[in-house]
Amino acid sequence: PWVPGEIIFCWETGGKSPQRTWTVLADGTGLRPMYPESDYEWVTHEAVISPDEVAIAIMGHRKIPGTKAATTVVGTAVSGANPGQETAWGPSGTREKPTGLGIVNLRTREMTIVGQTPSGSGLWHVGGSSDGRFAVGDDFSRSLYLIDRHTHEMMMLTTGHKETAGDHPHPTFSPDGTKIEIQSAMLSADNRSMNICIVPVPESWLRRKY
């Protein structure tokens, strides 16, 4: 959306893709993986956040095979609270390797993980402010986490958005980086219907100087 003729796209499979993210120029040249992923990486939900950067989720939602925790996992459909647990997806998506909210620089091709929840599903749908200050992500419980990219401090911004919701929060920053739009079933009588909600970035974070 910022650089004319530059296209970012994904290979959508409904789960783990062999190579999720791609970039190409409008004239058909320059086709390459945007973030070349390994078999053990479950990459998803890319979001272009600035002229030079794309946020991605490197999932850590699955237990490590052969561990005690892996024997008690109960999976759900994608609309539920614990999707993506089918063994057919292979060895990807565990925390045996680094996971979290990654930021890919399109110019240098470098990727930096800016944060991850210490437990649970890990971050899932991700985004960031175009000024490079903040990143944001939701998790399987529909909780929302804000990350200061300069300090790597992370806080839970809001929770209680109902795991029965018809969809997930999918956070997106406002152009000025001061507010985050999400969808939520928190106020829905049927526990599924989604409302558009605006979550402000805390003033104390906006006032920070680096």
Q: Which residues of the chain have pLDDT under 50?
A: none
Check residue 72 and give its pLDDT.
67
Check residue 193 and give its pLDDT.
95
Q: Which residues pair with 6 in a beta bridge?
A: 25
Check residue 42 and give its pLDDT.
95
Q: Which CATH class is domain 6-206?
A: mainly beta
pTM, whole model, 2 decimals?
0.90
Check residue 108 and give its pLDDT.
98
**Backbone angles phi and psi of 38, in degrees to 5:** -90, 165
Average pLDDT, the chain: 92
Q: Are 134 and 115 in contact (CB under 8 A)?
A: no
Check residue 68 and give its pLDDT.
72
